[in-house]
Chains A and B, each alone.
Chain A
Amino acid sequence: MTASLRSAAEAPRSTQPLRGQQQAADINRRQRLSGAASPPAGDTCTEPATATCEVVQCPSTPVRYFSPPPCAFLRPGQVFAGRQRVAHSSHSPAPKQENWSVSATITQYDPASGYVAGCMEASHVPDMPSPVTTFFEGEIIDNQHNTFFTADWEACPGTDILHWRKFEPFRELYAEVVRHHGRCPSLASHPYVYMRWKEQFFVQGSECHLTIQGFYYLCMNRVTGAMTGFYFDPSSSPDQKLEMSAVRAGLAGFAFPHYELA
Chain B
Amino acid sequence: MAEVARQQLVDRLQSDDSASRLQALRCIKNCVIGNRRQKQHYIHLDAVKLLVAVLASPTADAAQLVQAAAAVGSFAASKEGLLSVIHHRGLLHLLKVLQSSEDVKVVEAAVRAVKSVCRTADEPILDVLSPPSLGVLPRLVSLLASPTSNVAESSAAVLACCCDRGREQQNAVAVAGAVQPLVALLASQQHSKQEAALAALAALSSGNAATSEDILEHASVLSSLLGAIKRGRSPHTRFVAAVCLVNLSQHIPALGQEELSTPQGLQQAVLPVLVQLLDADMAENVPGALCQLVEHSAELQLAAADADAVAKLCAILRQQWRAPPVVEGALRCLAALCSKREEQRRQVVDARVLPVVVAALSHQSLPMRAAACMCMRSLSRSTKLLRGHLGDVQLAAPLLALVDEGDTEVAAQAMGTLTNLAVDFSAVKEQLLAHDGVARFAALADSMQPVLRLHGVWGLSSVAYMAAPEVKQSIAHHLPWSSVVALLEDSEPEVREKVMLLLRNMLHSERNIEAVLTWSCNALLEAARDVLQRSEGQAAAELKHHALYVVVNMASSTAAHKEAVMQSGWPPLLVQQLRDENEQVREAAVWAIINLTWSRDGDAEETAVRVQQLRLLGVEEELRRLEQDECIAVKERASTALDQLRALEGGGDDDVAMEAVV
A: which residues have CB within 8 A of B?
A: 16, 19, 22, 26, 68-72, 76-77, 105, 107-108, 115, 117, 119, 135, 137, 188-189, 191, 200-201, 203, 222-225, 248-262
Give the top 9 A-B pairs by smallest Cβ distance, nearest first.
Answer: A250-B556, A253-B595, A253-B556, A262-B416, A255-B556, A108-B383, A257-B508, A262-B419, A252-B600
Tell me the chain B residues, 551-569 only, with Cβ under 8 Å from chain A.
552-553, 555-559, 562
Given contacts A26-B343, A203-B387, A257-B504, contact A189 B632 (CB under 8 A): yes
Given contacts A72-B587, A119-B425, A135-B387, contact A254 B417 (CB under 8 A): no
Nearest CB of chain B from residue A138's CB, rounded to whole Å: 12
Interface contact A262-B549, CB-CB below 8 Å: no
Interface contact A119-B387, CB-CB below 8 Å: yes
- Tell me whether B74 is interfacial, beta carbon within 8 Å: no
Tell me the chain B residues, 588-604 only, with Cβ under 8 Å from chain A.
591, 594-596, 598-600, 603
B: which residues have CB within 8 A of A?
A: 311, 342-343, 346-347, 350, 377, 380-381, 383-384, 387-388, 415-417, 419-420, 423-425, 455, 458, 461-462, 465-466, 498, 501, 504-505, 507-510, 546, 549, 552-553, 555-559, 562, 587, 591, 594-596, 598-600, 603, 631-633, 636-637, 639-640, 655, 658, 662
Interface contact B509-A255, CB-CB below 8 Å: yes
Nearest CB of chain A from residue B563's CB, rounded to whole Å: 12
The answer, among A107, A117, A258, for a CB contact under 8 Å with B549, is A258
Interface contact A137-B556, CB-CB below 8 Å: no
Chain A neighbourhood of B455, CB < 8 A? 262
The answer, among A107, A249, A250, A253, for a CB contact under 8 Å with B387, is A107
The answer, among B346, B415, B416, B594, for a CB contact under 8 Å with A253, is B594
The answer, among B343, B425, B557, for a CB contact under 8 Å with A252, is B557
Given contacts A71-B633, A189-B632, A250-B510, contact A258 B505 (CB under 8 A): yes
- Bound together, the chains give a CA A195 to CA B599 distance in angstroms of 33
Given contacts A252-B562, A253-B598, contact A77 B466 (CB under 8 A): yes
Interface of A is mostly: loop
Number of A-B pairs, beta carbon distance below 8 Å? 145
Chain A neighbourhood of B466, CB < 8 A? 77, 257
Interface contact A250-B595, CB-CB below 8 Å: yes
Interface contact B342-A258, CB-CB below 8 Å: no
Given contacts A72-B637, A119-B425, A250-B510, contact A257 B556 (CB under 8 A): no
Interface contact A254-B552, CB-CB below 8 Å: yes
Given pairs A135-B384, A257-B504, 14 additional interface contacts (CB within 8 A): A70-B633, A107-B423, A108-B383, A119-B425, A191-B636, A222-B632, A252-B655, A254-B552, A254-B594, A255-B508, A255-B557, A256-B553, A257-B465, A258-B549
Interface contact A251-B557, CB-CB below 8 Å: yes
Nearest CB of chain A from residue B415's CB, rounded to whole Å: 8
Interface contact A260-B458, CB-CB below 8 Å: yes
Given contacts A77-B508, A253-B556, contact A259 B462 (CB under 8 A): yes
Given contacts A252-B557, A255-B552, contact A223 B639 (CB under 8 A): yes
Q: Across the two chains, which residue of chain A brings its CB closest to B420?
A: A261
- Bound together, the chains give a CA A260 to CA B424 distance in angstroms of 12
Interface contact A258-B598, CB-CB below 8 Å: no
- Bound together, the chains give a CA A219 to CA B594 distance in angstroms of 24
Given contacts A249-B556, A250-B553, A257-B465, contact A222 B505 (CB under 8 A): no
Nearest CB of chain B from residue A38's CB, rounded to whole Å: 24
- Bound together, the chains give a CA A100 to CA B557 distance in angstroms of 30
Chain A neighbourhood of B388, CB < 8 A? 135, 200-201, 203
Chain B neighbourhood of A105, CB < 8 A? 425
Q: Across the two chains, which residue of chain A brings its CB closest to B461?
A: A259
Q: Across the two chains, which residue of chain A brings its CB closest to B511?
A: A251
Q: Across the two chains, which residue of chain A brings its CB closest to B555?
A: A253
The answer, among A70, A77, A251, A260, for a CB contact under 8 Å with B501, is A260
Nearest CB of chain A from residue B565's CB, rounded to whole Å: 11
Chain A neighbourhood of B557, CB < 8 A? 250-253, 255
- Bound together, the chains give a CA A220 to CA B141 distance in angstroms of 72
Interface contact A259-B556, CB-CB below 8 Å: no
Chain A neighbourhood of B594, CB < 8 A? 253-254
- Bound together, the chains give a CA A249 to CA B504 distance in angstroms of 13
Chain B neighbourhood of A191, CB < 8 A? 636
Nearest CB of chain B from residue A63's CB, rounded to whole Å: 20
The answer, among B346, B350, B549, B639, for a CB contact under 8 Å with A256, is B549
Interface contact A256-B552, CB-CB below 8 Å: yes
Q: Count chain A CB atoms within 10 A of each CB in B465, B498, B636 and give the residue with the most.
A: B636
The answer, among A77, A135, A255, for a CB contact under 8 Å with B465, is A77
Q: Across the two chains, which residue of chain A brings its CB closest to B418?
A: A262
Chain B neighbourhood of A257, CB < 8 A? 465-466, 504-505, 508, 553
Chain B neighbourhood of A108, CB < 8 A? 383
20 A-B residue pairings within 8 Å (CB atoms): A16-B350, A69-B631, A72-B633, A77-B508, A107-B387, A119-B387, A248-B662, A249-B556, A250-B595, A251-B558, A252-B562, A253-B552, A253-B557, A253-B596, A254-B595, A255-B510, A256-B553, A257-B505, A259-B462, A262-B455
Interface contact B546-A258, CB-CB below 8 Å: yes
Q: Across the two chains, which residue of chain A brings its CB closest to B640?
A: A223
Q: Across the two chains, which residue of chain A brings its CB closest to B387?
A: A135
- Bound together, the chains give a CA A69 to CA B630 distance in angstroms of 11
Q: Across the two chains, which residue of chain A brings its CB closest to B416?
A: A262
Chain A neighbourhood of B559, CB < 8 A? 252
- Bound together, the chains give a CA A137 to CA B510 distance in angstroms of 30
Q: Across the two chains, which residue of chain A brings its CB closest to B383?
A: A108
Q: Across the two chains, which residue of chain A brings its CB closest to B632?
A: A69
Q: Count chain B CB atoms within 10 A of each CB in A22, A68, A72, A257 and give the residue with the most.
A: A257
Interface contact B501-A117, CB-CB below 8 Å: no
Interface contact B350-A19, CB-CB below 8 Å: yes
Interface contact B598-A252, CB-CB below 8 Å: yes
Q: Count chain B CB atoms within 10 A of each CB in A108, A200, A248, A255 and give the residue with the most.
A: A255
Chain B neighbourhood of A68, CB < 8 A? 632
Q: Across the two chains, which residue of chain A brings its CB closest to B599?
A: A252
Chain A neighbourhood of B510, CB < 8 A? 250-251, 255
- Bound together, the chains give a CA A16 to CA B636 distance in angstroms of 37
Chain B neighbourhood of A254, CB < 8 A? 552, 556, 591, 594-595, 662
- Bound together, the chains give a CA A57 to CA B343 distance in angstroms of 33
- Bound together, the chains give a CA A135 to CA B556 distance in angstroms of 29
Chain B neighbourhood of A224, CB < 8 A? 662
